[in-house]
Structure 1
Amino acid sequence: MALSFVEGFLLGLGAAVPLGPINILIMNEAVKRYKNGVLIGLGAMSADMLYLLFIVFGLISFVNQPIVLDALSIFGGSFLIYLAYLIFKNKDAKIQTPQETIKHPKNSTLYLKGFTLTLINPYTIGFWLSASGYVAAKELDTFFTIFGMLGAILLWITVMPYLVHKAKHKISQNVSYWISVISAFLLFGFGIMMFINLLAF
């Protein structure tokens, strides 16, 4: 059981830690407000849990179809490009503005951003299919492995935005501008890569 939890925890970190669209979005929001970053992360974690349920109940085969994956690539690429546009548009926003003067997005909007971006990302399906194959091959305890995975993801989406938010006072306005520009560029790149991969197959 302990081995299953540890292996699951490491798999969860493998899903959560790499720099991808979700982590870029979490960091971009956490600079403004800690809660914003956590809500993005919780939305992403909910989508991960949904795919885990699909795997546990044998429903993932309905999602892992070429037509479904192609549709997800189209929506996912478009959504990433849209998010890149929003971040680029607000690149000049002042990060040291008093909180009471800032108009923050609704909690539900932030949650849905994280949920939608993870749900329509074909790479999410690929990761969880690989993870489920790994768990089956090593004959790990399913419950403790999933518990470890979710524990690692929850730890990451609460600690990482906290560290980013605490460091915001050391970030100059010029650095904040370039963080937004680079974030927008990376998200745009991820979106374009989805379309390129779609056309390549």
Structure 2
Amino acid sequence: MDIYLKYLLIGLAIALPVGAITIEMTKQGLKNGFLHGWAVGLGGMTIDFALIVLMSLGFASFLSLPFIQIPLWMVGAGFLAFLGYDSIKNADKDITPADEKTKKSFWSTYRNGLLVAVSPGNLVFWVSVFGTVLSESYISSDKWNFAGAAIGVLSGILIHDLGLLSIVSVTRKVMSRKMIRAVSVIAGVLLIGFSIYFVYEFILALLPYIS
């Protein structure tokens, strides 16, 4: 229980800073309601869960290899640039008033969550946070340490997502179409900004191998 609570707080803390997932969740929540914002969060948590499973199977050292992490900067940059461009281009589309049922597919927003979560930053977080827990679980007679930590972090992220989307759902009811369109444009610019940062990190990571 102590491990669960400790890592629940870690999950909540890591989810609080504004990142690409938060931006996409907020945008989809404002345009199409709680369920679609939640779909983005579920997409992100699917990637998180997949990484947990891979590490539990012993892939932590493989995932931390430079030739695995470095290309992911460009993959992540490409996905975020695409989502950012799409967000700006379609800022005035797919906006559903709070009193109407959205026609947008749940799975399309879930896919966006998957794309945003594919980033080396996410990978590095899981490998670094759970590297110690994995080592301790192999040494300790208690084999549930890793599972407790994983469930704790996912619970923290879940609490953050539900809290954020609850606020977004209330805010959406008082926002005009023009305001939501402006938020979509801002979200697109921020996502493109993250993609440029990923390209910068890719170049930095590559320099030692080409100099």
TM tier, smaller: 0.7 to 0.9
**Range 66-75 or range 190-199, more displaced:** 66-75
TM-score under structure 1 normalisation? 0.87
Q: In the alignment, which residue of structure 2 is the partner of 1:129?
A: 127
Distance 1:17 1:97 in 2: 26
**1:99 alignment partner in structure 2:** 100
1:65-86, Cα deviation, whole Å (9 max, x unpaired)? 2222222111110110110011
Show the counterpart of 2:193: 189
Mean Cα displacement is larger for which, 155-164 or 20-29?
155-164
Equivalent position of 1:51 in the other structure: 51
Aligned-partner Cα distance in 1 for 2:165–2:108: 17
For residues 26-71 of structure 1, give each alpha carbon's deviation from its aligned partner in whole angstroms, at most 9, with x where no partner exists. 0100112111011111111011011111222211222222222222
The superposition leaves residues 151-172 of structure 1 with CA deviations (integer Å, 9 ceiling, x where unpaired) of 1122222332122022112223
Amino acid paired to 2:59: L
Structure 2 counterpart SS, 1:99: coil
Report the equivalent of 2:23: 24
CA contact (8 A) 1:21 1:187 kept: yes
The structure-2 alpha-carbon separation of the partners of 1:14 and 1:133, relative to structure 1 and needing over 3 Å to count, comes to farther
- 8 Å CA contact retained: 1:12, 1:152: yes
Match of 1:166 in 2: 170
String of CA shifts for 1:117-156, please: whole Å, max 9, x gaps: 21x2000011112211353588792222222112112222
The alignment of Structure 1 onto Structure 2 pairs a total of residues equal to: 197
Contiguous gaps of at least 5 residues in structure 1: none
2:7 pairs with 1:8 = yes
SS at match of 1:170: coil
The alignment partner of 2:173 has SS state of helix
Give, in whole Å, the separation in 2 of the partners of 1:150 and 1:84: 26
Q: Residue 84 in 1 paired to residue 84 in 2?
A: yes
- One-letter code aligned to 2:61: S
1:150 match: 154
Preserved CA contact (<8 Å) 1:47 1:116: no
Aligned to 1:68: 68
Unaligned runs of 5+ in 2: 138-143, 206-211
Deviations 1:2-29 (CA, angstroms, capped at 9, x unpaired): 3211111012113322211111000100
Q: Which amino acid aligns with 2:130?
A: S
Q: Secondary structure at the match of 1:58?
A: coil
TM-score normalised over the length of structure 2:
0.83
- When structure 1 is superposed on structure 2, of 169-178 and 186-195 the one drifting more is 169-178
Give yes or no for contact 1:87–1:180 (8 Å, CA) kept in 2.
yes
In the aligned structure 1, how far is the partner of 2:36 from the partner of 2:29?
6
Q: Distance in 2 between matches of 1:13 and 1:173?
A: 31
